[in-house]
Amino acid sequence: MRDIALTVNGLRFKAKNLDDDFARYVTEQLEESGVHFNRDNPSEKLFLAYLRLAAKNYNYEKEIKEIISEE
């Protein structure tokens, strides 16, 4: 289990006891979106990271529905 933490607009947020693989995935995705774990982040960065992951999820959902409708 692993903790991850980041700071947004001077506020520190921490997620505790995450599965190691999930924590690694979240960390990688946030870093790819420009979120930093070692310094303060503007709220816009977190919002853009969320939109990036939401778009990814949306596309996965579309693909799943297409696969199911083909059967």
pLDDT in tens, 39-56: 999 999 999 999 999 999
Q: Give the number of other CB atoms < 10 A from CB of residue 65.
A: 10
Domain ranges of the chain: 2-70
| pLDDT of the chain, 71 residues: tens digit per residue | 999 999 999 999 999 999 999 999 999 999 999 999 999 999 999 999 999 999 999 999 999 999 999 86
Alpha-carbon dihedral sign for residues 41, 43, 46, 52: negative
DSSP code of 9? T
d(CA 65, CA 57): 12
Q: Considering the entire predicted model, what is its pTM?
A: 0.79
Predicted confidence at residue 60, as pLDDT, reads 96
Q: Average model confidence (pLDDT) for the chain?
A: 95
